[in-house]
Amino acid sequence: MGLLSNIRGSEDLKKLNPAALPALAAEVRALIIEGVSRNGGHLASSLGATDLILSLHYVFDTPRDRIVFDTGHQAYAHKILTGRADRFCTIRTKGGLSGFLKRYESEYDAFGAGHASTALSAAAGMAAARDQSGAPYRVVAMVADGAMTGGMAWEAMQNVGQLRTDLLVVLNDNQMFISQRVGRLGRILTKLLTLGTVQSAERKVELFLNRFQFWGKRILRVAKRARVLFFPGMIFEEMGFTYFGPVDGHNIEELVEVLGYVKALQGPVLLHVVTKKGRGYEPAEDSPISFHGAPRFDVETGEVTKTASTAPAVPTFTSVFGKTLVALAKKDPKICAITCAMPEGTGLDLFRDAFPKRYYDVGIAEEHALTFAAGLAADGMKPVAAIYSSFMQRSFDQVQHDISLQKLPVVIAMDRAGIVGEDGPTHHGVFDLSLFRMLPDVIIMAPADENEMQHMLATAFACGATALLRYPRGKGFGVPMDPAPAVLPLGKGRVLAPGRDLTFLAIGNRVHPALKAAALLKPMGIDAGVADMRFVKPLDTDLIKSLAAAGPLVTVEDNALAGGFGSAVLEYLNAAGLDTRLLRLGIPDAYVEQGKPDELYADLGIDPEGMARAAAAWLRKTDLVKNSI
């Protein structure tokens, strides 16, 4: 492993001559490429940030000095340089390294990061804690340009400017978000990059360092204050930060020298560093969007590794959503779509290309996206906001006050609901049913398969109410697709298979596994039925009542049991005074770690075998209790 074999943290890095750091960076990149090619992961961002992260650990005294990362998908080099290189091959696998930052994984992970725009707030809190205790450590927030579109980032910026605390913000400007950069901030940064600053980066850095050497740090600070109205970073200067940059994020020796100077400055400082996504791996440089969240791939060619299969291609829930939305929008000019910097991930790239004037990318700003959708709906449009389930947690207030309370017909498409796999607990969408079920006047539905997906999207637009549609990541179940989307009866489920001994009440992508569980119970002498409930709200109480009269019920969901679909059924049975035995299967009261979805479903007992095993054991146990009374 060359130089990397002797690196376990900041102290080991400091033993190297700065001239050796580019070679070390190349070793780190090679390890990142190899690990991600095997396990998938966030490749382009991590490659682009490698030189910058290496320089930060070289200059600062981590873990005593805190480096707080935004999002965390740029931090693979950080993991490798802090004693985890020998375990990097396990990244994003069950029991292995997390793909994101975890405080309980390493003392170097100062703050957990899975969502964007949190670093500045967390770093500000750490700086304030340091000021209270009088401790001598430094605090650095490393923020990607995409995270700066989030409201929290700017709330933190104004607070830090007010506190005047010592804090270095490193703006990692890779000139992209997950997709292409959008919004006014993107234009400002682009303007900075087209003023000749990047093209003459070496000269700019030389002049910058010469000012320090000739005038001294305090004089330079005063001089820059006097030039604020003419300085390209004035937006940051006006907020109380001393701005430096842009500087080349891939010239390690100059980065180390620049960081060494700004490290000693007092007050809030922002260093604007320009990097390139995918740096050091040509396929990722050429296709940074494809290699943002990369699947397994061949290192030599950059092509996705595919397993041989003779089965027909099965569409993903996301692709069905995108295609159905385009079909519906062709017939209804009032339908419009909103994404938070993720058109490809949510399937809205199809809508963007078909209806660019009705497509809105608001940046990484989920709260704004929902209230923006409320405004569109209030004036007669039919918006759909497509946002990952785990990111929707940020927008509960907006759904409640700005949409639901005003009875606005906004469609909220929650992609990646349930278990998402290798991204782990920061991305599992297992709380949405519990969060939003409590709100009055909302419709909540979950498709059992890809065919039901298209019908539910049509139903969401047709219901004239706030509608939340939650669906999983990945492929459907290979069911036949109806030729066109149709509106489903609101709040009505359907019995897929009658049962004499018990009935599975299943929701979403647990419906087809419940059918398999019922088949597994047959040889055990248990006749189990299955109902596809379709709607969590309004609940099909008529169907539940009729099935409860026939025998015990088992609810199955890939949501938290606390407050989820099973709880809704239990609440109804209690309110109706029905003395029906009920078993609830779902996500227990614990965060689910990363792993392949099938592995996690098996661990949770909500795969077909687990459902059958739990239902059989419960039925035997309750029968014994009943017979002993």
Whether residues 25 and 70 fall in one domain:
yes
Helices (H), 1-87: 10-13, 21-39, 43-59, 76-79
Same domain for 499 and 465: no
Q: What is the mean pLDDT of residues 214-222?
A: 46
Alpha-carbon span 553 to 481, nearest angstrom:
30
Domain that holds residue 87: 2-286
Q: What pLDDT was estimated at residue 302?
A: 80
Tokens, residue 38: 């095997």
Q: Does residue 300 lie within any of the structural domains? A: no
Whether residues 500 and 422 share a domain: the answer is no
pLDDT, one tens digit per residue, over 489-503 is 999 999 999 999 999
pTM: 0.85
Residues 421 and 531 in one domain: no
Asked if 499 and 464 sit in the same domain, the reply is no
Examine residue 302 and state whether it is found in any structural domain, yes or no. Answer: no
**Res 196: pLDDT:** 44
User: Would you state the structure tokens that stand for residue 515, as one six-digit string?
Assistant: 């059918």
CATH number at 29 reads 3.40.50.970
* In 362-428, beta strands by DSSP E: 382-388, 411-415
- Count how many domains the chain has: 3
Tokens of 67: 């480096």
User: Which of 366, 367, 450, 452 is an active site residue?
Assistant: 366
Quote the pLDDT of residue 226: 40
Lowest mean pLDDT of 22-26, 146-150, 476-480, name the range: 146-150
CATH code at position 509: 3.40.50.920
Lowest mean pLDDT among 61-65, 126-130, 186-190, 377-381: 186-190
Residues 273 and 340 in one domain: no
Residue where one domain finishes, among candidates 286, 304, 328: 286
Q: What angle do CA 481, 485, 486 make, to 5 degrees?
A: 120
> DSSP states of 347-363 as a string?
TTHHHHHH-GGGEEE--
Please compute Rg for the chain using Cα positions: 27
Q: pLDDT tens for residues 110-168?
A: 998 777 888 999 999 999 999 999 999 999 999 987 788 888 888 998 899 888 999 99
Phi, psi of 286 (to 5 degrees): -75, -30
233 and 169 assigned to the same domain: yes
What are 280's two structure tokens? Answer: 């050091």
Q: What is the pLDDT of residues 82-111, one digit of tens each?
A: 999 999 999 999 999 988 898 999 999 999
Q: Tell me what percent of the residues of the chain surpass a pLDDT of 70.
A: 88
Whether 253 sits among the annotated catalytic residues: the reply is no
**Are residues 112 and 11 part of one domain?**
yes
Spot the catalytic one: 394, 416, 437, 510. Answer: 394
Is 343 within a domain? yes
User: Same domain for 191 and 142?
Assistant: yes
Is residue 459 located within the same domain as residue 514?
Answer: no
Is 394 among the catalytic positions? yes
> Do the domain assignments include residue 303?
no
Catalytic residue flag (residue 277): yes
Name, in order, each residue with C-beta under 8 angstroms of 477's C-beta and a sequence gap of 6 or more.
314, 448, 449, 450, 509, 512
326 and 423 in a single domain? The answer is yes
Average pLDDT, the chain: 88
Higher pLDDT, 393 or 623: 393
For residue 307, tell me if it sits in a domain: no
* Options 277, 279, 358, 382, the catalytic residue: 277
Residue 531 has pLDDT above 50, yes or no: yes
Q: Looking at the predicted structure, is the pLDDT value of residue 463 above 70?
A: yes
Regarding whether 515 and 462 lie in a shared domain, the answer is: no
Examine the fold and report which residue of 470, 505, 536 is the final residue of a domain before the chain moves on: 470
Residue 568 has a pLDDT of: 98
* DSSP result, 590-625: S----S-HHHHHHHHT-SHHHHHHHHHHHHHHHHHH
438 part of a folded domain: yes
- Note the pLDDT of residue 280: 83
Query: Which secondary-structure segment (H or E) carries 319?
Result: helix 317-331
Q: Is residue 368 part of a domain?
A: yes
**Is 476 domain-assigned?**
no
Q: What is the pLDDT of residue 207?
A: 54
